[in-house]
Every structure is written in C-alpha cells, then in structure tokens.
C-alpha cells in the first residue's frame, strides 16, 4: 500500500496521549494548489497539513474508550484522529474528497502498526450511498471541517443521517465563523450541544492556539 507518486514528503512524529505516531505527508500544501480545481469547486489541498484541530481531536480520541465503536471521520485528510481511534480498537471509516489524502492515511496506519484503515472518498455535496450503508456510527467526528460558509448546510443533514441513535458527534474547530452556523443548524433540529475550549500547545495556525471542541448528542424523544 505505497504512498502516491510525485510528492515531496516529510515524516513527523506526533505524540498523542501515550502514543507516538509517525505521519508522512507532503512537505508543502501550498505547492499542491491546483487553480483549475479551485475554479471548479473551490477545492484546496487542506488535507496535506497536520492542523492543530486535528491534533486536538486525536488527543481527545486517545483519552476515550473507543474499543469496539463504529467511528467515521469526516474530512479526514491525513486522518490522525482516525489512526488514534483505530489503535484504540475502534472500527474506523476515514472519509475525504481527495483520494490521495486517504492513500496517505492508509499508508500511515500501516506504518504505525495500527492495522488496516478503512477509507472512502466522499463529497459532502453529493455523499455516496455506500457511506450511509456503512452506518449508523457510534461516533461521528471531524477536525477543522468548517472552513467554508457552505459546509454547515452540507454537514448538518449528513451528520444526522450518519449518527446512530444515542451516538455522539465531536468536532474540533479553531473558532471559524461557520462553526456557529453548524451549531445553530444542529440545535434547531434536535441536538444538544456543549462546547469546551482547549489550548493547543504546539505551533498555532492563523486562527491562534484556542480550539473549540463541540460535542453533540440527540435530544431524547
């Protein structure tokens, strides 16, 4: 299960809970920008970076008992949270709309000795039927997936279809403006919401070191 060809890559060793995970990824996400792809559907290679929100979601996964749970990660990119959940005994499906991102994620899972990571290409504007056939999921998670204004309107109904009754939804976000819209969309459609602020101790991105961890569960009845 080799890495895709044509990438200049680096490997970072990431300490997550009691684990150390080696993550190989492209050296520069900016070098991967394709103007034709952006013109077509505003697609940018966010997947190629290890974002603070992804690291904080991985930390949360490391502190939870996920053994035996069915987990899906939306907009997984390099899928560090999925790798940690997989190592913790969860049955994980990592999804992204970039096939190469998922190829990197599978290779990193193999190299980490976490086992085979299950992946699926999924566009939130037109999710594949196979995604829903794989559900419902005990945990739906995502890290920094609200970077475009259109994303809350796509994600709220998608999450509702994927989450099992009694399941949890956990999203880490670096305080992007669109996060408030997702919270509103979900609370208006029967979800309880709690938010916790956590601090990323590594090098921050342009949004700073404060990360919001959003947790949702469906209201009873």
Please write the tens of the pLDDT for every residue from 140-159: 999 999 988 899 999 999 99
- Pick the closest to residue 74 from 52, 56, 51, 95 (CA basis): 95
Residue 34's pLDDT band, with cuts at 50, 70 and 90, is low
CATH architecture observed for domain 9-218: 3-Layer(aba) Sandwich (3.40)
Nearest to 141 by CA among 116, 162, 113, 112: 162
- Global pTM reads 0.92
Q: Is residue 193 very low, low, confident or very high in pLDDT (cuts 50, 70, 90)?
A: very high
CA angle 149, 105, 171 (to 5 degrees): 35
Smallest CA-to-CA distance from 48 within 33, 61, 59 is with: 33
Tell me which of 21 and 132 has the higher pLDDT.
132
């Amino acid at each position: 299960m080799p890495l895709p060809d044509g990438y200049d890559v680096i490997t970072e060793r990431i300490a997550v809970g009691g684990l150390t995970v080696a993550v190989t990824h492209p050296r520069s996400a900016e070098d991967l920008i394709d103007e034709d792809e952006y013109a077509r559907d505003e697609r940018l290679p966010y997947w190629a970076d290890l974002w603070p929100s992804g690291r904080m979601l991985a930390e949360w996964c490391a502190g939870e008992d996920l053994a035996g749970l069915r987990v899906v990660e939306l907009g997984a990119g390099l899928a560090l949270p999925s790798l940690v959940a997989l190592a913790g005994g969860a049955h994980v499906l990592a999804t992204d709309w970039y096939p190469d991102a998922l190829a990197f994620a599978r290779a990193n899972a193999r190299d980490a000795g976490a086992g085979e990571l299950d992946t699926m290409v999924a566009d939130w504007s037109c999710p594949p039927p196979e995604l829903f056939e794989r559900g419902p999921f005990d945990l739906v998670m995502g890290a920094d997936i609200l970077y475009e204004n259109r994303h809350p309107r796509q994600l709220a109904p998608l999450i509702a279809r994927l989450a099992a009754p009694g399941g949890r939804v956990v999203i880490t976000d670096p305080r992007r403006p669109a996060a408030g819209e997702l919270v509103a969309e979900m609370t208006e459609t029967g979800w309880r919401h709690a938010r916790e602020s956590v601090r990323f101790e590594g090098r921050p991105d342009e949004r700073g070191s404060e990360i919001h961890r959003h947790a949702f569960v469906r209201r009873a009845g």
